[in-house]
Amino acid sequence: MPRSYIFECPRCFYKTVVVGGLEEGLHCHFQTVVCHTCRRLYDIPIKLRVPITQAYSVSASGLNQFYKVATSDPANIINRLVKTTESKWIDGKLVCPRFPSHVVEKWNHPGACPICGTIMERSLRPYRVWD
């Protein structure tokens, strides 16, 4: 079961809830990214299992319809997916959910704070277990 954790910077007190790396669930895979322009951490859907009837429309939009939801919580994306027996995996890109032109890169725990560069601390207990 994938989990989201609270990450906090001990120096500048930046706080966010992300998975902290690559997490693979039954219906979606998420990767935490750092946007160097926004100076924030985001969870981005990099793979989604969608019904075959929706696969063309989702692949044409490039998962953009799910990026705005990704900034809040992976569980919101899972709730939006229709669970069926006939489904297809759709791949996504690592982009900033706010502005796709921003520069992003993969972020894994333990990693540096996007604001001040100090190593972020992870909560001991998961904030949310999803999927």
Cβ-Cβ contacts under 8 Å for 66 (sequence gap 6 or more):
45, 48, 77, 80, 92
pLDDT attached to residue 76: 63
Cβ-Cβ contacts under 8 Å for 36 (sequence gap 6 or more):
102, 103, 104, 105, 114
Cβ neighbourhood burial of 45 (10 Å; 0-12, 13-18, 19+): buried
Cα separation, 18 vs 44, in Å, equals 10
- pLDDT tens column, 1-43: 678 899 999 999 999 999 999 988 888 888 999 999 999 999 9
Residue bearing the bigger pLDDT, 57 or 112: 112
Residue bearing the bigger pLDDT, 93 or 33: 33
